[in-house]
Amino acid sequence: MTTLLATPAFAESKISFLVAQRGDPFQDLIVTAVSGAAQSDPTLSVSVENADKDPARQIALGQAAIAAKAAALMIIPVSTESAAILAEAAGKAGVPLVFVNNRPQIGPSGGKAVFVSSNDLVAGRVQMRLIVDKLGGQGTVAILRGTDTETASVERTAGGKEILASSPGITLVSEASANWKRQEAQEQVAAWLKGGRKIDAIAANNDEMALGAIAAIKAAGLSGRILVGGVDATKEGVAAVGSGDMLLSVYQDARMQGSQALADAGKLAKGEYVQRYDWVPFELVIAENAKHYSAR
C-alpha cells in the first residue's frame, strides 16, 4: 500500500485507490496525477493498492477497504468480473465508487458508480482512419489487441474495425491479443513476419504493444516498410512518433483522468452529485506535433 496523503489533523474522507497494475506506464501516470491532486486537498486521504493484474487480489483489496469504511473507492479494474463484484459489494455497503480509465460493462450496482475515462471507440477510429489514409486506401492491416476482458481493448478494436468496414481496399490479415505488453507484442509480430505474412500496417491498442511491434519490425530488417500506430501517447510512444518509428499515437490524458477521478470521489464521499460519465477527450499525435506532447 502507498499512502499519497495522510494528514490526520485535516483528513475527512479516506479514499482507497485500487490500481490494476503498478509498473504499467499509463496507470503509473494516473497514480502520479492522483498523488498531485491529493497533495492540494487536505480533506482527502488516499491510499493506493496494487492488484498486480490479479482479479481475486483486487476483490480482496476492495472488500478490505469497504470493511475499513472507506469514504469512496477508485478502481482501475483488472476485469469486468472483479469490477462487477466490487460494484455490488460497494453498493450494498453504501460506498460510492469511481471507475478510472478502464470502463467495465456492468449493470446497476445498487449504489453510486461513476466512470472517468476516454471514449475508446473514438481512439480506435482515429487511429485506423489515419492508417487507412497513409496507405492510400489500399493494403493489409494487422491489429494487436489489449487484454480481451477489458473494455478499452474491446472498444479500440471495434472502433478500428468500423473504419476498416468502410475501406474496401484494406484487408485485415491478422489480429491477436498481446495483453497490453511490449514483449508479447514483439513475439507476436515476429511470428507473423517469420510466417511470411504480408503486413503494411499494424494498429496496436496501446503504445507498449506498438513499441514491441516496432522492435520486431526492426529485427526483421523491415524498418520503414510497415506503418505502426499506438494509443496513449506515453513518453516512449511520443518519442517514437517524433523519430518516425511510429506513425501516430492517440493522446489519452492520464493526468486529467486521475485528477478528475479524485475530484469525483471527493464529491461522492461528501454526498454531492457527480455525473455518471466524465469523458476525457482523445487527441491525435503525429510527427508534426509530437514535440508538444513530449512535454506533457
Give the pLDDT score at 5.
Answer: 47
What span, in angstroms and rounded, lies between the C-alpha atoms of 107 and 116?
17
Residue 143 phi, psi dihedral angles, 5° rounding: -120, 130
What span, in angstroms and rounded, lies between the C-alpha atoms of 11 and 9?
6
Residue 170 phi, psi dihedral angles, 5° rounding: -110, 130
- The one-character DSSP state at 20 is S
Q: Model pTM?
A: 0.77
C-alpha cell read off for 22 = 503498478
Give, in degrees to the nearest 5, the angle at Cα 28 between 24 and 34. Answer: 150
**Residue from 93, 257, 16 nearest 85 by CA:** 93
What span, in angstroms and rounded, lies between the C-alpha atoms of 22 and 48?
10
Q: 141, 201 in Cβ contact below 8 A?
A: yes
Give the pLDDT score at 52.
Answer: 95
Give the pLDDT score at 108.
Answer: 57
Give the pLDDT score at 3.
Answer: 54
Q: 145, 153 in Cβ contact below 8 A?
A: yes
What span, in angstroms and rounded, lies between the C-alpha atoms of 171 and 103?
29
Mean pLDDT, contiguous 10-residue spans, the chain (296 residues): 49 87 91 92 92 96 96 94 92 94 72 88 97 98 94 95 97 97 98 96 98 98 97 95 98 93 94 91 96 86
Give, in degrees to the nearest 5, the angle at Cα 181 between 233 and 236. Answer: 30
Tell me the HSE value of 286 on the side-chain side, using a 13 A CA sphere.
8
What span, in angstroms and rounded, lies between the C-alpha atoms of 215 and 278?
36
C-alpha cell read off for 73 = 473507492
> In this structure, are strands 227-229 and 201-204 parallel, antiparallel, or unpaired?
parallel
C-alpha cell read off for 125 = 477510429
C-alpha cell read off for 103 = 470502463
